[in-house]
Chains A and B, each alone.
Chain A
Amino acid sequence: MYCRLTLFKLELKKFVGMLPRIFLETILFGLIAAGIGLYASKAVYADKVIGQIKAGVVADSKEPVTKMLVQFVQSMDSLKDTVSLELLSEEEARKQLESGEIYGAVMIPEGMVDSILSGENIPATILFGSGYNQAETLVFAQAAQTGAKLLTVAQAGIYAADTFCIERGMQDYIQQTEDYLNEAYLEYALGRASVFHREEVTALKGTAPSDYYGIALIFVFLSFAGLSFGRCVQVKVCERKKMLCLRGIFIGEQYLIETGAFALVFSFLGMLVSLPVFFLLSYSGDSTFQAAGTWVFLMLIWFVLGCFLKMLVQIMGNSAGGIGVCFVLLLVCMFVSGTFLPPAFLPVWMEWAGNSLFYRGWMEKTGMLLQGRLDSTVILKLLMQLLLFLAAGVLAAKVRKDTAK
């Protein structure tokens, strides 16, 4: 027992001694990842990040249908955070376009809604301001298309009713049916549409965007820090390991001792790095974080993450190639789990795949603990994962020993 304790203490000392270098290396890894992220976001969003797009709608304010449509489009979950529509007069719209207060203006001619419903289709004019990028144009075009689609659906319904009346020999009822349908669609259907938009889309269950990005940042940083540590871990079965076996500390025990020391140092690093970030975030306006005793349990998450990274390095090896493979695997794993981009923005299959990876769960658990919520199943799940990673690591170490020359 004394020799195992000595080995554990020395492994701890080894990893603590590595901390300064690991910190610098992680920053380097982080810069590479940030560079990739920046390049990717530039490719997607061009030079500017989209803020809220202000646009005007020039229409006869007395026409209730137009007003209702504007309100409906604006209330859509997918648009309300990016597009703000305002009913303006033509003169106001042109003035605000010139001053750059609004991005564009949709000029709805008088009787346009009636013309669509009757099939005449008088076109609307869209005026654009200057100084906006392609992404904003795309978003605005999407908003305009949404409005047009709503009217097209209404129009199709009315044509269908006309055909229905003609086929049944009820031509006299066409006008009356159209009036009823107009009333039903515009007054009732649009008003009740909000019923279908109840599901809240958030980056991470119940957390604000700033909280989500804070958690994601810490996970990315710590994962790369783990890889930097991994380079200094003895993965191969060397003479020392064989001789320690001979002295009674078997390869599985050696793995557990080394992993225990590594994960302990790693979890302290995790607390050291994450607590100030989360504490600062908790003061931001929309943060859901609350300083509470549950924050202590974050250490368990970092410990589990440490064991996961150690297992990964044990399986892949810590040569340059092995670390490279681990780096790519982690990038993919984090991306699919929604660490770089909120899961809501990912394709459905990727979102589904991310659910079965560990990062999504860890990020959600981190969010829960930071909000002061603690569930015994969370701790249980983490302990189960810990056992899984340790068992897989021991197995990998034994396989390496058996296959070594």
Chain B
Amino acid sequence: MELEIRDVKKSYRKKQVLKKISLTVKAGECTGIIGANGCGKSTLLKILAGIEKADGGEVLINKHPMKWQSSGLAGCIGYIPQESVLIPELTVEDNLKLWASFGEHKKNEEALKKLGEQFQLGNFYRKKVKYLSGGMNKRVNIVCALIHEPSLLLMDEPSTALDLVFKEELREYIRNFTANGGSVLLSSHDEGEIAGCAALWAIKNGIAQKVPQGETIEKIVSEYMK
């Protein structure tokens, strides 16, 4: 799935967060977005996921304009927000059941079994979400986004709170996902994750700039993060 963003704008009250964002995510590639805290990375991902409405601009998916808050689109996009989407008073199993109940729920339940094994949820399957550690919570959130077998993954700092083993597990998953033709757009501050991206975009002053390949971390930090 190819994603093209053209001149997307977004303001909150008087503050213009995204002035003119244009970037492309190619099919079968992992694209990264970097930028200082509060530069608008999460806002852009929310717009692409369909939970925030852009003030202007256009988003094209496979050359077709994206319709805002279309439930059909939700089925082919997997979004992992920074904030947990789980109901804390319920168990992991119950939460996963909820997200598996959308669309073809029988097929989703099959997918859930595989993902549960891959992300090793078995140990805390019946544990209430409010008693999970940050890392465990993140793993369950990732699984929730993957249940529908999306073709485009939008990940907002996905490796936050994950331990080294699961960070590597996630990278492996992303590699396989893109190898099978899926596209990933992730925002991150993690060096390893940034290094794994085929293309990198930096958001500064509300505008996206492409980071040339092979740029060192020091240069990225000095040029795009300050």
A interface residues, Cβ below 8 angstroms from B: 2-3, 6-7, 10, 13-14, 17-18, 232, 234, 238-240, 242-243, 245-248, 405
CB-CB contacts below 8 Å: B44-97 with A:
49-51, 69, 71, 74, 79, 81, 83-87, 89-90, 94, 97
Is the Cβ of A248 less than 8 Å from the Cβ of B87?
Answer: no
Is the Cβ of B105 less than 8 Å from the Cβ of A2?
Answer: yes
Is the Cβ of A240 less than 8 Å from the Cβ of B89?
Answer: no
CA distance A405 to B10 in the complex (A): 11
In whole Å, how far is B99's beta carbon from the nearest beta carbon of chain A? 8
In whole Å, how far is B50's beta carbon from the nearest beta carbon of chain A? 5
Is the Cβ of A246 less than 8 Å from the Cβ of B50?
Answer: yes
Chain B residue at minimum C-beta to C-beta distance from A3: B101
CA distance A169 to B89 in the complex (A): 94
With a cutoff of 8 Å between Cβ atoms, the chain A residues found around residue B101 in the complex are 2-3, 6-7
Most buried by B among A7, A10, A246: A246
In whole Å, how far is A346's beta carbon from the nearest beta carbon of chain B? 40
In whole Å, how far is A387's beta carbon from the nearest beta carbon of chain B? 27
Is the Cβ of B74 less than 8 Å from the Cβ of A239?
Answer: no
With a cutoff of 8 Å between Cβ atoms, the chain A residues found around residue B83 in the complex are 238-239
Partner of A17, one of B85, B86, B89: B89
With a cutoff of 8 Å between Cβ atoms, the chain B residues found around residue A7 in the complex are 98, 101
Partner of B87, one of A2, A10, A239, A245: A10
Partner of A248, one of B12, B102, B105: B102
With a cutoff of 8 Å between Cβ atoms, the chain B residues found around residue A14 in the complex are 87, 89-90
CA distance A6 to B74 in the complex (A): 18
Is the Cβ of A232 less than 8 Å from the Cβ of B89?
Answer: yes
With A238-B83, A405-B12 as given contacts, are A18 and B89 in contact (CB-CB < 8 Å)? yes
CA distance A242 to B51 in the complex (A): 6
Is the Cβ of B97 less than 8 Å from the Cβ of A240?
Answer: no
Is the Cβ of B97 less than 8 Å from the Cβ of A10?
Answer: yes
> What secondary structure prevails in chain B residues at the interface with A?
loop
With a cutoff of 8 Å between Cβ atoms, the chain B residues found around residue A247 in the complex are 71, 74, 102
Q: How many A-B residue pairs have CB under 8 A?
A: 59
CA distance A246 to B84 in the complex (A): 16
With a cutoff of 8 Å between Cβ atoms, the chain A residues found around residue B97 in the complex are 6, 10
Is the Cβ of A246 less than 8 Å from the Cβ of B49?
Answer: yes
In whole Å, how far is B112's beta carbon from the nearest beta carbon of chain A? 13
Closest 3 CB pairs of A and B: A6-B101, A242-B51, A3-B101
Is the Cβ of A246 less than 8 Å from the Cβ of B94?
Answer: no
In whole Å, how far is A132's beta carbon from the nearest beta carbon of chain B? 55
Given contact pairs A7-B101, A245-B51, A248-B102, enumerate 13 new A-B contacts (beta carbons under 8 Å): A6-B97, A7-B98, A10-B87, A10-B97, A14-B89, A240-B87, A243-B49, A243-B74, A243-B81, A246-B49, A246-B69, A246-B71, A247-B102
Is the Cβ of B89 less than 8 Å from the Cβ of A246?
Answer: no
CA distance A238 to B84 in the complex (A): 9
With a cutoff of 8 Å between Cβ atoms, the chain A residues found around residue B50 in the complex are 246
CA distance A288 to B163 in the complex (A): 67
CA distance A10 to B74 in the complex (A): 22
With A3-B101, A3-B102, A6-B98 as given contacts, are A246 and B90 in contact (CB-CB < 8 Å)? no
Is the Cβ of B51 less than 8 Å from the Cβ of A246?
Answer: yes
Partner of B85, one of A6, A13, A240: A240
CA distance A245 to B50 in the complex (A): 10
With a cutoff of 8 Å between Cβ atoms, the chain B residues found around residue A240 in the complex are 84-87
A–B pairs, 18, beta carbons within 8 Å: A3-B101, A3-B102, A6-B98, A6-B101, A10-B87, A14-B87, A14-B89, A14-B90, A18-B89, A239-B85, A240-B86, A243-B74, A245-B51, A245-B69, A246-B71, A246-B74, A247-B71, A247-B102
CA distance A25 to B87 in the complex (A): 21
In whole Å, how far is B211's beta carbon from the nearest beta carbon of chain A? 28
Chain B residue at minimum C-beta to C-beta distance from A232: B89
With a cutoff of 8 Å between Cβ atoms, the chain B residues found around residue A245 in the complex are 51, 69
With a cutoff of 8 Å between Cβ atoms, the chain A residues found around residue B74 in the complex are 243, 246-248
Chain B residue at minimum C-beta to C-beta distance from A249: B102
Most buried by B among A2, A17, A232, A248: A248
Chain B residue at minimum C-beta to C-beta distance from A7: B98
CA distance A245 to B51 in the complex (A): 8
With a cutoff of 8 Å between Cβ atoms, the chain A residues found around residue B81 in the complex are 239, 243
With A7-B98, A10-B98 as given contacts, are A243 and B89 in contact (CB-CB < 8 Å)? no
Partner of B79, one of A2, A17, A243, A405: A243
In whole Å, how far is B154's beta carbon from the nearest beta carbon of chain A? 12
Is the Cβ of B85 less than 8 Å from the Cβ of A10?
Answer: no
With a cutoff of 8 Å between Cβ atoms, the chain A residues found around residue B71 in the complex are 246-248
With a cutoff of 8 Å between Cβ atoms, the chain B residues found around residue A13 in the complex are 90, 94
CA distance A242 to B83 in the complex (A): 12
Chain A residue at minimum C-beta to C-beta distance from B70: A246
CA distance A234 to B86 in the complex (A): 12
In whole Å, how far is B193's beta carbon from the nearest beta carbon of chain A? 21
